[in-house]
Amino acid sequence: MQVEVYCGGAVETNGYLLIRDTAALVVDAPEGMLAWLRKRCAESGVRVAGLLLTHGHWDHVMDAAAIQKELGMPTLIHRDSAPLIENPAIQANYNPFDLEPCKASRIVDDEKKMKISGFNFDLLHCPGHCPGSLGFYFEDEGMLFGGDVLFAGAVGRWDLPGGSQKQLMESIGKNILTLPDETHVYSGHGPATTVGKERRGNPYIAGLCAKS
């Protein structure tokens, strides 16, 4: 599976294009993602089969409604994050921009596995940074697209509405540190890392690593 990275918007948010043969999935939709996708899809000739949203915070969904309208593919999000994209006014206190509402066509809750156009992946429910945060784990490829849960050398913030440090640490310990060390972690901001690298050197999760 080929992974292409787009970084854009006010807080340099990562979006991802996952390509296998002529099909593709998009993970997250930061500002400017649609224009980039137009160019990349035209160049590569791929058809986007779905938009996967790791969570509903404004910087990850700025282009979600526009991408959904223009490319016409289903949009997936967790039930607990769906209100953030359906009613963007919920985020008005910490969102400096106007968001166009987006209606997800696939709202998940307790589902553990997903298959879309030949892509097989696990859904990891990782609350703590945002209600309904999801990680998309491609076991065969050893790749996790985890949004703002775990970063290279850091973890996601927990001080926004619905955040919880306790939940965040539990999510990391239960769902990410249990993955193989060689798993590549593609985060919502910053460079990619691996589970093993964070296990050995991330100061925010040192206590969790001692227990795992």
For 12-66, what is each residue's pLDDT tens digit? 999 999 999 999 999 999 999 999 999 998 898 999 999 999 999 999 999 999 9
Tell me what the pLDDT averaged over the chain comes to. 94
pLDDT of the residue at 55: 97
- Torsion of Cα atoms, 40 then 65 then 109 then 205, to 10°: 60
pLDDT of the residue at 44: 87
126: closest CA among 84, 169, 90? 169
Distance CA 44, CA 23 (A): 10
Q: Name which CATH class applies to 2-211.
A: alpha beta
Q: What SS3 state is found at 182?
A: coil
Whether the CB-CB separation of 96 and 130 falls below 8 Å is answered with no
pLDDT score of 172 more than 80: yes
pLDDT in tens, 79-120: 999 999 999 888 888 887 888 999 999 999 988 999 999 899
Distance CA 62, CA 34 (A): 10
> Average pLDDT for residues 6-14, to the nearest whole number?
96
What does pTM read for this prediction?
0.95
Lowest mean pLDDT of 53-57, 69-73, 126-130, name the range: 69-73
Domain chopping of the chain, boundaries: 2-211
The one-letter code for the residue type at 165 is Q
Q: Are strands 143-147 and 134-138 parallel, antiparallel or unpaired?
A: antiparallel
Distance CA 183, CA 130 (A): 23
pLDDT of the residue at 206: 85
Report the Cα 6 to chain-centroid distance in Å. 13
pLDDT of the residue at 209: 65
pLDDT score of 6 more than 80: yes
The one-letter code for the residue type at 171 is S
Q: Which long-range contacts (CB under 8 A, 24 or more apart) does 172-177 make?
A: 172/126, 172/128, 172/205, 172/208, 173/205, 173/208, 173/211, 173/212, 175/124, 175/125, 175/126, 175/135, 176/124, 176/126, 176/135, 176/144, 176/146, 176/149, 176/150, 177/205, 177/208, 177/209, 177/212
pLDDT in tens, 181-203: 999 999 999 999 999 999 999 99
